[in-house]
Amino acid sequence: MKIKIMTIFPQMFAGFLNTSIIKRAIDNKLIEIEIVDFRQYSKDKNKRVDDYPYGGGAGMILSCQPVLDCLSEIKSDNSFVIITDPAGKRFDQSLAKQYSQKDELVIICGHYEGFDGRIYDFVDEKVSIGDYVLTGGELASMVISDAVSRLVDGVISSNSTCEESFENDLLEYKQYTRPQIYNGMAVPEVLVSGHHENIRLYRLKEQLKNTYLYRKDLLKKHQFTEEEKRLMKEIIEEHD
Ligand code: 6GU
């Protein structure tokens, strides 16, 4: 899959593109990430990309010309175009999955007070990564690209994506590695018992407990099995 990121701060992406899993995925040609500086498309003699808002008000607005000229040059027929915006649709794991199925994703990074309203007519979706305001869309575009890239076939082993948080709307259980006792703190006994069924039940109960304690909102959409209902009852009794 190919991701094209339109930004006026291309230097912010150096660490992201040159580290760990993303770097390896690019080197192995599983993903391609192109950073496009849309300031280069400005026809203004000082390469300005923003201007004052009509009707007055604080801050500057990104202008149509550089953004739309850049977009029309880099976009193809099968591009899906998103724009980062704190007022957009909330990005989550299911949206990451949808995006990972696309041939090409174009992400336009927002800045200042936002974009000229006419730009949105050329965009498929406005996306926010959470309920807080960032100084710009670059970090959001990296969050989105990272979450999407790791779902592309071959980027990480598929075992790691099928049992992780948000699959079936539950948070993950805690994991442990050697040594079995560290500074007097022991690994839960059941995990070293070798009893696979007990381990499965313990982990499922931990998932339900974490989700109950930290993300009750996720439990509302969870489809409980009979086994999970029974474990949930135990958890609620234990936390009364
Ligand atoms: Cl996508 N952009 C900005 N500027 N702030 C945000 C955001 C995006 N998502 C959450 N906060």
Residue 93: is its pLDDT beyond 80? yes
Residue 166: is its pLDDT beyond 80? no
CB-ligand 1 contact for 85 (6 Å cutoff) = yes
Pick from 84, 113, 132, 139 the residue to mutate for probing ligand 1's pocket: most ligand atoms within 8 Å of its CB: 84
pLDDT attached to residue 169: 85
Residue 59: is its pLDDT beyond 80? yes
| 3-state SS, residue 58 | coil
CA of 163 to the centre of ligand 1 (A): 28
**Rounded (10°) CA dihedral 207, 211, 213, 215:** 160
CB-ligand 1 contact for 110 (6 Å cutoff) = yes
pLDDT attached to residue 162: 67
179 preceded by a cis bond (ω within 30 of 0): yes
**Pick from 7-16, 23-32, 167-176: least confident:** 167-176
CB-ligand 1 contact for 185 (6 Å cutoff) = no
- Section 110-115 average pLDDT: 86
CB-ligand 1 contact for 114 (6 Å cutoff) = no
CB-ligand 1 contact for 7 (6 Å cutoff) = no
Q: Is 130 left (phi over 0), alpha (psi -120 to 50) or beta?
A: left
**Pick from 23-32, 158-167, 212-221: least confident:** 158-167
- Section 206-220 average pLDDT: 96
- Using an 8 Å Cβ cutoff, are 143 and 5 in contact? no
CB-ligand 1 contact for 138 (6 Å cutoff) = no
The confidence band for 75, taking pLDDT boundaries of 50, 70 and 90, is very high
Structure tokens at 33: 């990430």
Residue 224: is its pLDDT beyond 80? yes
Residue 132 CA, closest ligand 1 atom number: 11
pLDDT attached to residue 112: 72
User: Could you tell me the pTM of the whole model?
Assistant: 0.92
CA of 216 to the centre of ligand 1 (A): 24
Pick from 82, 115, 134 the residue to mutate for probing ligand 1's pocket: most ligand atoms within 8 Å of its CB: 134
pLDDT attached to residue 168: 77
- Section 158-187 average pLDDT: 88
User: How far, in Å, CA of 52 to CA of 114, rounded?
Assistant: 11
The mean of the pLDDT values for the chain is 95
CB-ligand 1 contact for 108 (6 Å cutoff) = no
Helix 138-149 to helix 20-27 angle, to the nearest 10 degrees?
Answer: 60
